[in-house]
Amino acid sequence: MVAPAIDQVASAFGINNAVVLALTTSIFVLAFAMGPLCLGPLSEIYGRSRVLQLSNLWYLAFNIGCGFAQSESELLAFRFLAGLGGSAVMSIGAGFLADCWLPEDRGQGVAIVALAPLLGPVVGPITGAWIAQFSTWRWVFWSTSIVDVAILIIGMFVLQETYEPVLLERKAERIRKSMDAEKGPHRPICTPFSQDRSWRTIMTKSLSRPFALFAHEPIVQLLGIYMAYLYGLLYLFLTTIPSIFQGVYQQSTGISGLHYIALGIGLVGASQLNARTTDKIYVHFKNKNGGVGKPEFRLPAMVPGSLLLPIGCLIVGWTSQAHTHWIAPDIGMALVGAGIILSFQCIQTYILECFPLHAASGTYSFVPTLLTSNLSPSAVAAVACLRSLAGFGFPLFAPAMYDALGFGKGDTILAVAAFVIGCPAPWIFWHYGERIRNSSQYAR
């Protein structure tokens, strides 16, 4: 929401450097690279619901502080700290999904959850543009804080714990308290997870595992790089839309903010289509495979996604360069949004199913494996860390790139890179994904 109000922020604090201005927006995303590394393991110790609620409270406190910032340094510090709290859902959300749904039912849930962190930065600037035009930049933060209070109150009543080891441990604790100690000695009440639930063990494994996954797993490496590029492109376009429609088309802050709707149409439209078809496609290929499901059956929608993205980049760049009617770059924006969300959702679901929470499919016959294979949050944290760094970095070089090359050549470079990185990925993993997983110590 702060992107359309960036000129007001610059005026208030006397900021003249374009990189520092972009940093005001993207430093929030930098925190997304660090928060999941700690919040993910904390959710394994204290439960997903509790950590998510406390993180939301942390975000609320520092987001309110952003509205009261009296200097550029205070605003940057508060933005980063607020981002740490807001990053909880990036890793814990994947754990909720793995806890609650079987693979053949999980696609729609992942599609909806994956849409939120992409649609939020689209809807936010539309609202932020009108707030900035008719009020002050401080209300950009205070308005989101009001919404967050409502979410906190609702979450207190509806957000339940789903993480199995924590639920079983709580149940065991209730049984221990209810037993009458005067009836003599009794067998200790424990759970299949009790032997390795110390905070030191969990934190050590969970902090090191995302880096181990990225270092040794080709699936996480390639798809993590592509997802990082997608996320970086999203934030690059979010921060350059004002420069296109205010700079090239000479539109007001509020009107230029409406063009975020085009990006939102692409995101929502493609997401809804994918949400309604992904589980059906998975079941179709599962039935053709003798009733045996594979993570690779989540990849087909990534093929059109990897093609729509570079096409959209080319349309945005060259129509803006040629000063055509504003509807043309909006069409390109919609295609960019569709391409990003299709690939984003496929990658998220594929990684979730390659590195599942419970390797024993709901049984406890391999308890030691279960205790060391809480991989969904770790795999997602590894990818989230990389993509958040890209989301932080891309907006910083965008102004210099467009100043030097223009929108046409600049977006052509982005389109070529998207094609080279993205198009081979679904083909590679469709044909060789199972072989890669079988040779992996984690994916097996």
DSSP string, 328-397: HHHHHHHHHHHHHHHHHHHHHHHHHHHS-S-TTTT--TTHHHHHH--HHHHHHHHHHHHHHHHHHHHHHH
Nearest Cα residue to 95 out of 170, 194, 163, 193: 163
Considering Cα of 387, then 29, then 112, then 53, what sign does the dihedral take?
positive
Residue with tokens 């040794």: 216
Residue 260's pLDDT is what?
87
Q: What is the pLDDT of residues 408-418, one digit of tens each?
A: 999 999 999 99
Q: Taking a C-beta distance cutoff of 8 angstroms, is the pair 191, 168 a contact?
A: yes
* 181 assigned to some structural domain: no
Q: Quick one: DSSP state of residue 11? A: H
Residue 97's pLDDT is what?
74
Residue 437 has pLDDT above 80, yes or no: yes
Calculate the dihedral angle through the C-alpha atoms of 75, 79, 80, 84, rounding to the nearest 10 degrees.
150
Higher pLDDT, 387 or 429: 429
Q: How far is CA 255 from the centre of its chain?
A: 28
CA atoms within 13 A on the CB side of 192: 15
Backbone angles phi, psi at 188, to 5 degrees: -65, 140
Q: Name the pLDDT band for 444 (thresholds 50, 70, 90).
A: low
Q: Where are the alpha helices (DSSP H) in 14-71?
A: 18-46, 48-67
Q: How many domains does the chain have?
A: 1
% residues pLDDT > 70 (the chain): 85
State the chain's mean pLDDT as an integer.
82
* 189 assigned to some structural domain: no
Six-digit token pair at 412? 């052509």
Q: What is the pLDDT of residues 219-252, one digit of tens each?
A: 888 888 898 899 899 888 888 888 899 888 888 8
Q: Which of 97-101, 118-122, 355-359 has the lowest mean pLDDT?
A: 355-359
Burial of 112 (0-12, 13-18, 19+ CB in 10 A): middle
* 140 assigned to some structural domain: yes
Q: What is the pLDDT of residues 337-351, one digit of tens each?
A: 999 989 988 888 888
Residue 78's pLDDT is what?
95
* 248 assigned to some structural domain: yes
* 351 assigned to some structural domain: yes
Distance CA 20, CA 10 (A): 9
Q: How far is CA 287 from the centre of its chain?
A: 31
DSSP element (H, E) containing 271: helix 260-288
Q: Name the pLDDT band for 371 (thresholds 50, 70, 90).
A: very low
Distance CA 91, CA 43 (A): 9
Distance CA 303, CA 115 (A): 18
* 75 assigned to some structural domain: yes
What angle, 0 to 180 degrees and rounded to 10, lies between the N-to-C axes of helices 327-354 and 218-242? 160
The enclosing domain of 16 has a CATH number of 1.20.1250.20
Distance CA 373, CA 209 (A): 10
Distance CA 101, CA 296 (A): 18
Q: Which residues are CB-neighbours of 435 under 8 A, at least 6 positions away?
A: none
Residue 180's pLDDT is what?
59
* 190 assigned to some structural domain: no
Number of other CB atoms surrounding residue 218 within 10 Å: 15
Q: What is the pTM of this model?
A: 0.75
Distance CA 167, CA 28 (A): 33
Q: Name the pLDDT band for 363 (thresholds 50, 70, 90).
A: very low
Q: Which residues are CB-neighbours of 77 under 8 A, at least 6 positions away?
A: none
Q: Which residues are CB-neighbours of 92 under 8 A, at least 6 positions away?
A: 36, 39, 40, 43, 48, 51, 52, 377
Residue 291 has pLDDT above 70, yes or no: yes
Higher pLDDT, 165 or 12: 12
Angle at CA of residue 106, ends 215 and 356, nearest 5°:
35
Residue 366's pLDDT is what?
29
Higher pLDDT, 219 or 64: 64
Residue 379's pLDDT is what?
64
Distance CA 92, CA 41 (A): 9
Q: Which of 169-178, 230-239, 274-283 has the lowest mean pLDDT?
A: 169-178
Q: What is the pLDDT of residues 137-149, one digit of tens each?
A: 899 899 999 999 9
Q: What is the pLDDT of residues 185-228, one digit of tens each?
A: 556 677 666 556 666 777 777 677 777 777 778 888 888 889 88
* 444 assigned to some structural domain: no
Q: Which domain holds residue 20?
A: 3-174+197-438
